């Protein structure tokens, strides 16, 4: 497995990973929605606000994770949100998703990111160090439909709550995603 950073020149292939993966697990509407989200993140998010990591093998891209900036104007810490994440169905349950997330978190840690959130299945993300957090600890940018899925991880060891409200990048600023 070869892990790469960046998305330039891979935009269509990356969007296809998300479309195909979510179509297989959640149906064609969800597949289109998540594929469109991934494409929008790559098109509209400034490079300093988006990290894209892909896993490759002889079959092309097998998995992808995206981390985009989450801004807390009342807090000086650098925060990102891990979303979306996809592992092609034929490569699931091989550890590739965990390795890719860990690689992304390690890269952000080295680059000075203080905290990372995600919104998803706690049983999956706990494997990479995420813990359930409350909306009082870290305010999400929009109301959560499933608060149990709001997770966070300090990359610096600080256990302090994030101050104030938050803002996400425009591609994630859609209520139906939360």
8-state DSSP, 45: S
Model pLDDT for residues 111-127, shown as the tens digit of each residue: 999 999 999 999 999 99
What does the pLDDT look like over 49-89, one tens digit per residue?
Answer: 999 999 999 879 999 999 999 999 999 999 999 999 999 99
User: pTM of the entire structure?
Assistant: 0.95
| Three-point CA angle 38, 42, 47, nearest 5° | 140
Q: What are the residue ranges of helices labelled H in the chain?
A: 11-26, 28-44, 96-110, 122-125
Long-range contacts: 8-15, Cβ < 8 Å, 24+?
10/54, 10/61, 11/39, 11/42, 11/43, 13/60, 13/61, 14/38, 14/42, 14/52, 14/54, 14/61, 14/64, 15/39, 15/42
Residue 176 clears pLDDT 80, i.e. is over it? yes
Q: Is pLDDT at 137 greater than 80 in this prediction?
A: yes
pLDDT at 24: 96
List, in order of start, the domains of the chain with CATH numbers: 2-177 (3.40.630.30)
């Amino acid at each position: 497995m070869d892990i790469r950073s960046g998305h330039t020149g891979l935009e269509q292939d990356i969007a296809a990973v998300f479309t195909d993966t979510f179509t297989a697990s959640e149906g064609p509407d969800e597949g289109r929605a998540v594929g469109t989200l991934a494409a929008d993140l790559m098109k509209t998010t400034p490079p300093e606000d988006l990290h894209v990591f892909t896993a490759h093998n002889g079959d092309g891209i097998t998995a992808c994770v995206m981390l985009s900036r989450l801004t807390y104007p009342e807090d000086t810490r650098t925060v990102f949100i891990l979303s979306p994440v996809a592992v092609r169905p034929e490569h699931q349950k091989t550890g590739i998703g965990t390795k890719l997330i860990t690689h992304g978190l390690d890269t952000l840690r080295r680059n000075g990111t203080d905290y990372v959130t995600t919104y998803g299945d706690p049983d999956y993300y706990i494997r990479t160090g995420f813990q359930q957090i409350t909306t009082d600890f870290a305010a999400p940018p929009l109301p959560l439909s499933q608060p149990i899925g709001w997770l966070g991880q300090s990359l610096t060891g600080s256990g302090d709550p994030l101050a104030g409200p938050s803002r996400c990048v425009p591609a994630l600023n859609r209520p139906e995603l939360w």
